[in-house]
Structure 1
Amino acid sequence: MTSKGRGRLWRRALAVLALLLLAAGVFVTGWILPTATGYVARNTCSAVLLAGRDPAQVAAEDMAPYPFVSTTVDREQQLVRATVVGLAARTAVYRPGLGCALAIASDSDTLRAQGFEPPRAPASAAPWPQGDGDSTDPDPPGLDRAGLDAAVAAAFSEPDPESLRRTRAVIVVYDGAIVAERHADGFDRNTLHLGWSMSKSVTNALVGILVGRGQLDLQAPAPVPAWADDPRRAITLDQLLRMSSGLEFDERYGALADATHMLFEVDDAAAYAISKPLAHPPDTVFSYSSATTNILSWIVRQQFTSDAAYHRYPHEALFAPIGMRSAVFETDATGTLLGSSYVHASARDWARFGLLYLQDGVWNGARVLPPGWVDYSRTPTPTSETRDYAAQFWANAGKPDDPGDRRFPHLPVDAYQASGFQGQAVLIVPSRRAVIVRLGMTHQRPAWDLDAFAASVLAALPADRS
């Protein structure tokens, strides 16, 4: 081959390489990086503009897995922008009463106009749970104060500096009263904490109230018009609640995964979830899916004649009646509550939510959840082979042929949990009359052992008297 021919060959090879690099760059900036910048923009917005936290702490701790993403907090415009060296920019906008939403197809001004002033229970200095005062009652008989304090202190320890727990709040409720409470430096009883998938359990309550009112039917086909002419029309509300709908959904959190695409790359999370085809016949396979919860949120929305009434609903029907004054339920850009992931509340308010379920849905003698709803919510779904999932709550029943093989082997069988990413937990233990709340920022799951922690707490509480 002549030198001229070799030159042409090299030029062609370089052109192909350049095209490949260009295609890779387009793929990364168009499909990979927006997941990261969307996550960082949205959650920084919530932590700083909603919860009022220090942006530097949020960047150093909450966003530690994303050191390559830069953020700008604009307090005047009430928004947060995130980019990777100027690429894949995402903007999240804060709206009063509704928290933050990503401006993907929507513009910032349209999102900002969605805000509202939610109805809230009046503040009270009465002891918790009626108010936010501290109880002056002595410890109940049989409580091991030294043991309980040691268990709580251990939750804030960091035995492995390479794998941090970052526990931020712990509350232990026994027999309707707080018997232990601690907050990390920089956090207090008023700090809002993102519940992540504990929000699914809040969605359970909102559905349950409508079932109790006769507006929704558990066993009827889910009222989703888009499914009317295909086999998905057989999916029931019950199957959505129990994660047994059969809908295809990739519950991974990372690039090119359904879950992250739904939360950080589209305006309408419910529409994305509703569009999913069947992967299995309904009620044959358990498959944990944030999509089904966002479909439930959309179904709840359809029960109201206006978005204003829909957005007030969680506050009027649930939060205000039990004194959850801090709670904020964020929506996507279309205004649908992100029931899978985005309820924020103080540790004390998360404890109130757990106490409502411990008390069978009754608060101050008034029924908030319909009769039987709590039992339904904690009963394992038949399609869950390990019997560790119920209806938007995690259960602890264990396998029928091996009850010792349980989600929490050191806890009572009747324990059940609202569970969230990064170690969020509202653990309800009826046989011990206890609610245990743990909130944190645990990026590496093995760093935090809820089973061991809760077992140490229960060991210090008065013995079961049932």
Structure 2
Amino acid sequence: MTRHTSLPGLPPQPKATPWPTADWPVADLSDTVDAAGLDDLLGLAFSDPAPDIMGETHAFLAVHKGHIVSERYWRDLSAESTFPSWSQAKSITHALIGILARDGRIDVNAPANVPEWQDEDDPRRHITLDQLLRMSSGLKFTEVYVEDSGSDVVEMLFGAGKADVAGFAANCPLEHEPGTTWSYASGTTNIIARCAAQAVGATGAAFRSWMFDALFHPIGVRSALPKFDAQGTFIGSSFCYATARDFARFGLLYMRDGAWDGQRILPEGWVDYARTPTETPPEETLGYGAHWWLGMCGPGSFSANGFKGQYTVLVPELDLILVRHGNSVDEQGDEVRRWLAQVAECFR
């Protein structure tokens, strides 16, 4: 992959800081961190009952310069509890495609391998994996998490499409010329996940084993619970449970430019590819790269975001990773994102 020199640099693992393949190193907050401000923000988030402005926060984790420096859980939850990814799984899918690109088994700039699009007169046959990863495929797909609203994502995950999520999404018609219009769509990720399975030559349990061998085990992730549909396709749009500490491990892989303890997991430039901006409409408050969101905690930050307030946020200039899980409705989402930005400010 081509490196983009305009992007802020990614910090290396500090010398003498062990990689958290087995256990996370833990440290006290630095004297340069606003500990009182952070404590106030955590006090608000973990109020019981939960604050109306942001809903329940179930887990929070801050990794600063490779060490856990703050960690808190809601009620009887703990570091061993697993949390839903929701759309954080999209960023995991991005990593899987990167591994296949590293091994020369997939080309993101080539037309996606989608059986439903192979007729000579089907304009969808020209859609590339890059356009899918950038949510610029042009496919018509309604991303609204409200039942009885004509939502494609609800129908795909819980209705007529749940047995074959990629097939459901692949049968969506083209609404715009590929590459011309950004529109966030979970269906595109499940098409990508099926492309990954085709490249690996495995589905279901065999694909799960490959996920662990290629991605999770090398970085010490043990708790991951990826979900599959009846066709054996990883539901890469939405479903991979894990502990907060394991989501932080995944974040650290991207913070360290896709390398882990001397081993290159993702190809060089793949993290830059994830955080290179895609043109988005003016009404979209956050930026978007390739299956990662941009800018939540200041310029240069990028994040894996999930429904109901699941976040893994990377702030390279601070070597800071923030993980937040909870149960926040859409109306509380803006406040949760503001809260995360305020937490990051405590480390500046």
Is contact 1:244-1:383 (8 Å) kept? Answer: no
Displacement of 1:134: 5.6
User: In 1, Cα distance between the equivalents of 2:171 and 2:244?
Assistant: 36
Q: Which runs of 4+ in 1 moved over 4 A?
A: 158-164, 383-387
Matched residue, 1:321: 218
- Report the identity percentage: 44
Change (3 A) 1:449 1:162: closer
User: In 1, Cα distance between the equivalents of 2:144 and 2:85?
Assistant: 18
Letter in 1 for 2:63: V
Matched residue, 1:287: 183
1:258 correspondence with 2:152: yes
Secondary structure class of the residue paired with 1:302: helix
Is contact 2:25-2:67 (8 Å) kept? Answer: no
Higher relative contact order (CA 8 A, sep 6+): 2
Letter in 1 for 2:225: V
Matched residue, 1:172: 62
Per-residue CA distance 1:92-136 (angstroms, 9 max, x = gap): xxxxxxxxxxxxxxxxxxxxxxxxxxxxxxxxxx9872333662x
Is contact 2:21-2:221 (8 Å) kept? Answer: no
Choose the corresponding residue for 1:144, options 25, 34, 39: 34
Letter in 2 for 1:252: V
Per-residue CA distance 1:370-404 (angstroms, 9 max, x = gap): 100001001111355557111111112xxxxxxxx
Change (3 A) 1:449 1:238: same
Displacement of 1:444: 4.7
Q: Which is higher, the Rg of structure 1 or of structure 2?
A: 1
Secondary structure class of the residue paired with 1:215: coil
Is contact 2:24-2:67 (8 Å) kept? Answer: no
Choose the corresponding residue for 1:246, options 138, 144, 157: 138
Matched residue, 2:47: 157
Is contact 1:284-1:383 (8 Å) kept? Answer: no
Secondary structure class of the residue paired with 1:303: helix
User: In 1, Cα distance between the equivalents of 2:171 and 2:29?
Assistant: 53
Choose the corresponding residue for 1:391, options 290, 295, 308: 290
Displacement of 1:364: 1.1
Change (3 A) 1:335 1:241: same
Matched residue, 1:363: 260
Per-residue CA distance 1:263-289 (angstroms, 9 max, x = gap): 012311111011111011100100100
Matched residue, 1:132: 23
Matched residue, 2:332: 446
Matched residue, 1:111: none
Choose the corresponding residue for 2:94, options 187, 204, 212: 204
User: In 1, Cα distance between the equivalents of 2:23 and 2:335?
Assistant: 29
Displacement of 1:319: 0.8
User: In 2, Cα distance between the equivalents of 1:348 and 1:448?
Assistant: 24
Normalising by the residue count of structure 2, what TM-score does the alignment of the two structures yield?
Answer: 0.87
Is contact 1:170-1:347 (8 Å) kept? Answer: yes
User: In 2, Cα distance between the equivalents of 1:247 and 1:241?
Assistant: 13
Letter in 2 for 1:250: T
Secondary structure class of the residue paired with 2:288: coil
- In structure 1, stretches of 5+ residues that fail to align are 1-125, 397-407
Letter in 1 for 2:105: Q
Normalising by the residue count of structure 1, what TM-score does the alignment of the two structures yield?
Answer: 0.66
Matched pairs, number: 323
- In structure 2, stretches of 5+ residues that fail to align are 1-16
